Amino acid sequence: MRHFTIHHDGVTIPVSQGGRGRPLVLCPGLNSTQAGLRELTGLLRRDHDVVTFDLRGHGLASAAGRYSFEAFLGDLDAVMAELENRGLPEPPVLVGYSLGADLAVHYASEHPGAVAELVLIDGANPVPEPFITEAVLPEFRAMWEELAARQETERGTERQVLLTAREILGLNLEIDLIRSGILDRYGKIDRPITMIMSTSMAGDGDEGPAPKFNQNWRAGVERLVREHPHIATSWLDADHQLVFTHAREVARIIRRTEATS
């Protein structure tokens, strides 16, 4: 294992690299850290030289004065630039989870040839309707206040998340807006793309907003594949926590995808 730190935009980004095989960069999502993704990372390192890192305000990365989609995209950009400077032998497979998938799509669309292929895990979905509307805003606000309170117990650890409930809400509102225009980004990518999606991203309950959210999630993928039929899609019977609950299945799909690419 090799560890190094990147300094950019006033923040420090911790990076870990290890394994043997084809280079692979794993980009975490909002409220996830490289420590939390350790099981998936360990499985991928059997066949890849895996690079993991923490986004600003997450894990062992430093806090930042601002948290926005563009700021997180800058973190990924800085990691990729550093890997190029360090002489990565070939363009890596870029794997993104949740927000990390959206970051991966934007990065690949802006840097032709910089990645070998994309694997997008439960994110970067051009859903036809935004998730956060006035009707469900109080419920989401309460959920993220509860999440932020739980995260307080992990302060000072490699799994900490420093964002407030208000900042998490603001980012999710921004992600809704980003995804409304993400179809255009896919049209600029000429690399193989695989999506690994959850069948019940909002949970499998029959009451409340979950069924509508899950239907919206599937409709977004169907819309994407209609426009870009070359995109391969795998569905896992799981919710949005699939990288933690179904790490072996996720790793198996990535391995299988590469065997046929």
Nearest to 125 by CA among 29, 41, 32, 209: 29
> In this structure, is residue 73 part of a structural domain?
yes
> In this structure, is residue 207 part of a structural domain?
yes
> In this structure, is residue 219 part of a structural domain?
yes
C-alpha–C-alpha distance, residues 115 and 188, integer Å: 13
> In this structure, is residue 171 part of a structural domain?
no
Q: Is 18 helix (H, G, I), strand (E, B) or coil?
A: strand
- Is 261's pLDDT higher than 90? no
pLDDT at 259: 65
Identify each DSSP E strand in the chain by its residue range: 2-8, 11-19, 22-27, 48-53, 93-97, 117-121, 193-198, 232-236
> In this structure, is residue 33 part of a structural domain?
yes
C-alpha–C-alpha distance, residues 201 and 219, integer Å: 13
State pLDDT tens for residues 65-115: 999 999 999 999 999 999 999 999 999 999 999 999 999 999 999 999 999
Region 197-219 average pLDDT: 92
List phi, psi (to 5°) of 162: -95, -5
pLDDT at 87: 94
Region 226-241 average pLDDT: 97
Backbone torsion region of residue 214, taken as left when φ is above 0, otherwise alpha when ψ lies between -120 and 50, otherwise beta = alpha
Region 12-29 average pLDDT: 97
Region 8-26 average pLDDT: 97
Band of the pLDDT at 61, cuts 50, 70, 90?
A: very high
Nearest to 163 by CA among 88, 258, 260, 72: 72
Residue predicted with more confidence, 207 or 3: 3
pLDDT at 260: 67
| Average pLDDT of every residue of the chain | 96
CATH number at residue 217: 3.40.50.1820
C-alpha–C-alpha distance, residues 67 and 71, integer Å: 6
pLDDT at 257: 80
> In this structure, is residue 49 part of a structural domain?
yes
Query: Residue 188: which domain range?
Result: 2-129+178-260
C-alpha–C-alpha distance, residues 116 and 127, integer Å: 26
> In this structure, is residue 241 part of a structural domain?
yes
> In this structure, is residue 151 part of a structural domain?
no
How many percent of the chain have pLDDT more than 70?
Answer: 98
pLDDT at 208: 82
Number of domains present in the structure of the chain: 1
C-alpha–C-alpha distance, residues 92 and 96, integer Å: 12
